[in-house]
Amino acid sequence: MKNQTIKLEIDFPINYKLTKRKSKKLLILLHGFAQTNEAILEHFLDSAPDDYDILAPNGPLPIPKIRRDYIEKRYAWYFFDRHSNSYDIDYSLSANLLQKLVQTLGYDETPKVVIGYSQGGYLSPFAGLAMNKIQSIIGLCCTYKWQYITEELPFNVYSIHGVEDKLVDHQNSKVHFEKLKTSSKKESRYISLKNEGHDLSDNIVQEALKLI
């Protein structure tokens, strides 16, 4: 007998780090698969422009690594089974949780930029659509799943990708970007970086900062 799935509305915990600078804009940072918010926050906390507050949540799905003396906490934004090409938990859970988090923190009507790395980049257009006042999404080392987006994107769409990325194919990412950008009436740009792979390098971070 196959499992059945039903969506329920419940209170759901989500943890985050918020750096307040009394700014009029918000930078939202979305980490990669099996990471924590620190993995992306460490690259942008000291380098992001001062006119942004910085919000770095952890994904809602824990992926604990059991060690002898402690548990290494890691997180994911969704669960995709590449063998069956299906989602057990799709983008909507995290997108809705991020919208509610931003609203609860008082940033609902604040202009926002979303930067997502790897799995966080895959999530970024869905998160952008769930929230108000998104100015841009910037996906780092990711592929945009244009097949699941049926509405116009009311924000700038950017992608930064290393040509030598061995985990997320650069050329496939570029093809998907060309498909997605037809849904946006705003600016769109795909930035390819030679001699860069899947790591969140200084060059990738600096290119992202130029866009905000």
Alpha-carbon span 77 to 187, nearest angstrom? 26
Q: What is the mean pLDDT of residues 59-74?
A: 92
Mean pLDDT of the chain, nearest integer = 95
Is the pTM higher than 0.75?
A: yes
Which pLDDT value is given to residue 111?
Answer: 98
Which pLDDT value is given to residue 80?
Answer: 81
Question: Per residue in 86-101, is it b (16+ CB within 10 Å) or e — as a string?
Answer: eeeebbebbbbbbbeb
CATH number at residue 164: 3.40.50.1820
Q: What is the mean pLDDT of residues 170-182?
A: 95
The answer to whether residue 4 is domain-embedded is no
**Where does the chain have alpha helices with state H?**
37-44, 91-104, 119-130, 170-180, 202-210
Say how many CA atoms lie within 13 Å of 129 toward its Cβ: 17
Q: How many domains does the chain have?
A: 1
The answer to whether residue 56 is domain-embedded is yes
Query: Range of 118's domain?
Result: 16-210
Q: Are 29 and 56 in contact (CB under 8 A)?
A: yes
Q: Are 122 and 30 in contact (CB under 8 A)?
A: no
Which pLDDT value is given to residue 8?
Answer: 85
The answer to whether residue 33 is domain-embedded is yes
The answer to whether residue 86 is domain-embedded is yes
Which pLDDT value is given to residue 147?
Answer: 92
The answer to whether residue 6 is domain-embedded is no
Say how many CA atoms lie within 13 Å of 15 toward its Cβ: 9
The answer to whether residue 42 is domain-embedded is yes
The answer to whether residue 3 is domain-embedded is no
Q: How confident is the model at residue 91 (pLDDT cuts 50, 70, 90)?
A: very high
The answer to whether residue 107 is domain-embedded is yes
The pair of three-digit structure tokens given for residue 176, joined into one six-digit string: 């998907």
